[in-house]
Amino acid sequence: MVFEPMGEQAMQDWLRMSAGALGCGIGRGEIDPEALTDTYLAAIAAHPLRDRIYSAVTESRARAEAAAAAARARAGQRRGPLDGVPVSWKDLFDSAGVATEAGSALLKGRVPARDAEVLRNGTAAGLVCLGKTHMSELAFSGLGLNPVTATPPCVNNPDAVPGGSSSGAAASVAFDLAACGIGSDTGGSVRIPAAWNDLVGLKTTAGRVSCEGVVPLCARFDTVGPLARSVEDCALMLAALEGGKPADLRGVSLSGMRFAALQTVVMDDLREAPEAGYAAACARLRDAGAMIEEIEAPEVAEAMPLSSLLFAGEAYGLWRDEIEAAPEKMFAPIRERFRGGAAFSAADYVDGWRKLEGLRAAWHARVAGYDAVLMPSAPNLPPDHGRLMEDEEYYVTENLLTLRNTRVGNLMGLCAVTLPAGVPSCGLMLCGAPFGEERLLRVAAAAEAALGAA
């Protein structure tokens, strides 16, 4: 294979292509992985917001991986459909020889000796590592606000936060500085920044994708997932992260599909734009042949009060010693959110999980006959950065509201996808059964086609 020479404009167009399209171009000999990586690295270096998006740019690694991908392509030995495609990694994935600090001064100078398992898998699949992206401190906020390290930008509003905690992961894709971003989701940390930056975000089922070498927040809820430009990219990236085969998205159609539109909790206090975006998106699904039935699920309302106990209880248990050794190093609202976990006993925690497991069983029985459950990805738009820093009540209210809907998926142990709803910074969320990612991705691909239809 000999790669075709490309003009400057064509190379700039690469920055806006999906990961899957870039991989196909490499496979056809139309895109040289080395030229592609150089184009991304040049775009990162020239971007005025680069230092708010990337915590570290791994130029030497990226160029070496791109050269290896190019050699494999010439020899007809590509490792998979994304071999040679440049991506970013959230700064909680261990990367050998490069600082992994999880957005926190508590971990400043932490340099792992070994890549996280998902990064090793991605490298084995031929992904090119562009670098590490900024995030909310220790991943414990849905806003993406981080005055300790950096707050990445929101693509739709320069005065707003981008959503978190995978804030830089979303910004790297939305600002054309990576073909895909790899993030994590414990209570909404993939789906919120994806929704607020008009991307597709996949929350995987807890326990499906390895968290070995990933800085933890709540081990029983932590998940790994991509933020991308398409459902196809999410399917391809999931396979790369696992070392598996991607879901087959061919022949998908909404005709005859049956969706449950959850009403309990998630439709309360919706702001105007998310409400309008959600309604319009559901109308498009109906027009494409889907059946949508509104349902109530009392178990969701019963599960919500368990959030502080189960999330903050585990998070503080994991981080108490580090936090209390140097509490002054933390952004106060994040520190106090962690400390909220100190109020609960071990007996409270065990009983909370017992209750949640019963509520999960009720949920699964209720939604078993549906192809997916629908809800707005977020009830609100990205909040104002400056006001969050000055108004404590506004910060607390917006942070809790931001994660309310996405938390349903984590509490119920689901996989979930957010799709752009057609209104800036508004998402449509589809929730599927645990470990049902392949099925959910097929459903999401059909929904994506309906939402994108003229």
Q: Which of 55, 165, 167, 307 is catalytic?
A: 165
> How much is the average pLDDT of 38-51?
98
| pLDDT over 50 at 165, yes or no | yes
| pLDDT over 60 at 155, yes or no | yes
**Catalytic annotation on 60?**
no
- Give pLDDT tens digits for 89-117: 999 999 999 999 999 999 999 999 999 99
**Which pLDDT belongs to residue 453?**
65
- Give pLDDT tens digits for 348-385: 999 999 999 999 999 999 999 999 999 999 999 999 99
**Catalytic annotation on 307?**
no
Q: Residue 206 in contact with residue 413, Cβ under 8 Å?
A: yes
Q: Grade residue 396 by pLDDT with cuts at 50, 70 and 90.
A: confident
Of 3 and 75, more confident: 75
> How much is the average pLDDT of 39-48?
98
Q: CA-CA distances (angstroms) from residue 213 to 97, 196, 216?
A: 13, 28, 9
Q: Tokens 């990367």 map to which residue?
A: 95
Strand partners, 258: 291
Of 450 and 1, more confident: 450
CA dist 352 and 269 (Å) reads 27
| pLDDT over 80 at 418, yes or no | yes
Q: Grade residue 454 by pLDDT with cuts at 50, 70 and 90.
A: very low
**Which pLDDT belongs to residue 254?**
98
**Which pLDDT belongs to residue 440?**
98
**Which pLDDT belongs to residue 267?**
98
Hey, what are 384's tokens?
A: 């104002």
**Which pLDDT belongs to residue 406?**
98
Mean of pLDDT over the chain: 97
> How much is the average pLDDT of 396-420?
96
pTM over the 0.95 mark: yes
Q: Which of 90, 104, 166, 184 is catalytic?
A: 90
Sorted by sequence, the CB contacts under 8 Å of residue 321 that are 6+ apart come out as none
Q: Which of 136, 141, 189, 425 is catalytic?
A: 189
Residue ranges of alpha helices (H) inside 47-184 are 50-53, 59-74, 117-124, 167-174
Radius of gyration in angstroms for the set of CA atoms belonging to the chain, rounded to a whole number: 21
CA angle 99, 104, 110 (to 5 degrees): 30
- Give pLDDT tens digits for 112-140: 999 999 999 999 999 999 999 999 999 99
- Give pLDDT tens digits for 267-308: 999 999 999 999 999 999 999 999 999 999 999 999 999 999
Q: Which domains does the chain have, with CATH numbers?
A: 8-242 (3.90.1300.10), 258-452 (3.90.1300.10)
CA angle 229, 119, 171 (to 5 degrees): 35
**Catalytic annotation on 108?**
no
